Structure 1
């Protein structure tokens, strides 16, 4: 793509906001209100698009039926036959290594089988009776206590103390920092202890999540749960994330239920807490023991209680929150409408002067033929909008949001250290530090490189400023996406809005160059793992090439070979 084409295609794009992987922390009343509003919206649309609705209904029925086919799979390998997950993740930052780690996480199931038969379709459990230490060393009870002993864990933000008694969730959080001794007394008294986003402090979890972010190319989060014997910490509910539950210590009794109706399949918001009589019979009931794995697609209703003879410690790794086609279109369509209106006079014509006489709720049962003509006209106008949709710039916005929200790279023993800019000259050879570490976005007259090299680890999954701080209702709230259920994805309806009104300083996570330098940036970002001589970067002068490469080396995006 030429320079002028790049500028024209992304004319006036706005810098995306940070797309955080956050903890939805609304009060229960707000969750219920949002859930009810979503249900009402679905009811209002039932009479429209019946043919499409029939097809969707058949697909929903098939998916609901698939949920009832949830499985328990036995891993027959012995301890001496399995690889070390940490050794795999620490190998390098290649995409193949990330895929190998994901394969290790769900072994003996293959990645191909997982994505074709289970991902977003149905839950499964992998039981490792011969390898109870499979997830040893990632995070355990001693790690929870060590974090509490720092005196820096804040109630509601870093740690929750909860219980589920008489069909009701009870939260024992106080204001300020959690007192370790008090939290442990509550634990001994039957309360669960949830640590939120422990990857901020735990190096093993930093390694795990950053590796999985490379595999999924979207934000990955986690919470951990320490539960005493004979207790339950959370109400039955479903979440808006893909959940992978890794049992590291003890055991816990789980019950998983299918969504109650098609509208609860792959939800974009989490549910309110359910009563036991709301959820029917489980499709899976089992004990999760150390080394076992549970996968739950979004919408899986679930609850778990600790058995009387053992405490439980598990990690919930999650992704996929607000990362759907609907969220992508929320970014794309507003700008698509603007571009289509500029290009097609038909979209600039007035609506019919008598439209109020046959469209609207009071006319919804009318047989007026003008209603059918109106719907046909809308289909025609939507097709014009789709023809103008800026698919590539919208995808770049998605990529930029991911770069700003993901974890910084974990220092690896064999990884090259960032080179100093002083080494760069026309004969210097450079390459990308590792695949996927940066994204080129054309924004007006600028070519902006978003990167994750200096992202703050201690803010990973941080709630955006002003989003509120409730207590968090659910066991697996949070972990895999970008925003609350009632928020638009950051960047939605903003593609093409220009760079005015930026809300935060991005000097550490972006590099801005003239748009004419985009072809040189494209070469550097796409050449991995091949090295590129600075003199071959296609800019107007070698001095410009040296200047650009120096900035990218200084940021850690490029390394000198």
Structure 2
């Protein structure tokens, strides 16, 4: 829990440390200073990743989870395979035509295609937990995809991502070639397809890293670094963890949304002005820049944080809960029940004001009596608590408060 001058920010849940340690050989401070968003890092023999996902787990996802696109993609030799080649109707009562057909996936795998399972941080429990812990350690939303490639095969052409990634080699071997960026620190509006020729030319040169990842190896790539990979003589399964960290453009975008509150910045341009003519545009530009400077001087970090809070917090889902069990518990809640903050749920508690305390969740805010402040801070600290032990309230008020926070999905049953 981190406290600032004007409140408390928390990410709920029982945090198990060490997710970053499974991704990089460097310590957290060294990684942040020397590699994060700067340079690639190869980390051999970090350990076994089979607890996160293995080949049996891939089979279960394909054969028993009724996956639909876009949770599955397939590619071969640099070309994305149309989804119609591996999807179809789910049969009676499930006629939707984009369900993944396991027999079609089998045929494509046997033909050398790469399988991509997307969004596993939302559907595969070990990766849900791992993603939640890593997000708390890094302070940024993460996504997890799995790539399964048959022997002597290649799925995608050399390319770059507009977000950083960790690559965790789960099983088999894969040959990776890494080249320096053709565009430094690209953002999502700058995909590699816009500079495809430059990417292809750079990828034909000498790589910065040329290595074969084996089970237990890891690789960090900042956004923009070119990469391609191919299997050697066996099946390869690796996890790619996308790191969707905010940039300074994130702040600028938020400032632009805040700027609509300023009347001078909403003002229209003079009638007849041709914005494509530099000479006629110059006075309007100078006036706009002056108004912008004056307005920016009035913007506080609190203004910007409030604008960004819902957007950044909503970018990652908190841990799952049990809706039926939780709804059933509301009517029988007593002092002996144990509860805890919902894993991975960001929460901000404002200091009491006007006899009330504000509890900010990703998509809404709650207003509670000031007398609840100590109990709320306690119950949201990431540990399990007995309802009857919450401080500052009697049992009746403890139950009312806990019931409210359970209904709002800020708490879960421990």
Q: Which band: TM-score by shorter chain?
A: 0.7 to 0.9
Say yes or no: does 1:550 pair with 2:407.
Answer: no
Say yes or no: does 1:450 pair with 2:370.
Answer: no
Q: Cα distance, 1:236 vs. partner?
A: 1.5
* Aligned-partner SS, 1:233: coil
Deviations 1:279-325 (A, max 9, x none): 45222111111111011111111111111x2221100011216x323
Q: Cα distance, 1:102 vs. partner?
A: 1.4
Q: Cα distance, 1:202 vs. partner?
A: 2.0
Task: State the partner residue of 1:501.
Answer: none
Q: Cα distance, 1:390 vs. partner?
A: 5.8
8 Å contact from structure 1 (residues 222, 318) kept in 2: yes
8 Å contact from structure 2 (residues 176, 227) kept in 1: yes
Structure with bigger RCO (C-alpha 8 Å, 6+ apart): 1
* Aligned-partner SS, 1:199: coil
Deviations 1:96-141 (A, max 9, x none): x34x32123323x10111000000001111112xx6x522221122
Q: Cα distance, 1:544 vs. partner?
A: 8.2
- Cα distance 1:447–1:185, how it changes in 2: closer, same or farther (>3 A)? same
Task: State the partner residue of 2:134.
Answer: 212
Task: State the partner residue of 2:325.
Answer: none
Aligned residue pair count: 372
Distance 1:180 1:348 in 2: 55
Task: State the partner residue of 1:301.
Answer: 226
8 Å contact from structure 1 (residues 151, 179) kept in 2: no
Matches within 5 A, 1:308-387: 309-320=233-244, 323-338=246-261, 340-341=262-263, 356=273, 360-363=275-278, 371=282, 377-387=287-297
Q: Cα distance, 1:397 vs. partner?
A: 4.6
Task: State the partner residue of 1:268.
Answer: 188
Distance 1:180 1:247 in 2: 24
8 Å contact from structure 1 (residues 440, 522) kept in 2: no
Q: Cα distance, 1:205 vs. partner?
A: 1.1
Task: State the partner residue of 1:398.
Answer: 308
* Aligned-partner SS, 1:114: helix
Matches within 5 A, 1:80-229: 93-94=13-14, 97-98=16-17, 100-107=18-25, 109-128=26-45, 134-150=48-64, 152-154=66-68, 156-164=69-77, 168-174=78-84, 175-176=87-88, 177-229=99-151
Q: Cα distance, 1:238 vs. partner?
A: 1.1
Deviations 1:194-217 (A, max 9, x none): 111223432211121121122233
Unaligned runs of at least 5 residues, structure 2: 1-5, 7-11, 89-98, 322-327, 351-355, 384-388
- Cα distance 1:375–1:556, how it changes in 2: closer, same or farther (>3 A)? closer
* Aligned-partner SS, 1:253: strand
8 Å contact from structure 1 (residues 210, 410) kept in 2: no
Distance 1:520 1:102 in 2: 39
- Cα distance 1:380–1:422, how it changes in 2: closer, same or farther (>3 A)? farther
8 Å contact from structure 1 (residues 424, 549) kept in 2: no
Q: Cα distance, 1:161 vs. partner?
A: 2.1
8 Å contact from structure 1 (residues 332, 390) kept in 2: no
Distance 2:411 2:101 in 1: 44
* Aligned-partner SS, 1:272: helix
8 Å contact from structure 2 (residues 162, 223) kept in 1: yes
Q: Compare the two structures and name the one with the higher strand fraction.
A: 2
CA RMSD of aligned residues (A): 4.2
Q: Cα distance, 1:188 vs. partner?
A: 1.9
- Cα distance 1:525–1:298, how it changes in 2: closer, same or farther (>3 A)? farther
8 Å contact from structure 2 (residues 177, 227) kept in 1: yes
Distance 2:249 2:369 in 1: 30
Distance 1:558 1:193 in 2: 37
Distance 2:193 2:369 in 1: 47
* Aligned-partner SS, 1:160: strand
2:391 to 491, 516, 533: 533
Unaligned runs of at least 5 residues, structure 1: 1-5, 7-91, 412-417, 452-508, 537-541
* TM-score, length-scaled by structure 2: 0.74
* TM-score, length-scaled by structure 1: 0.56
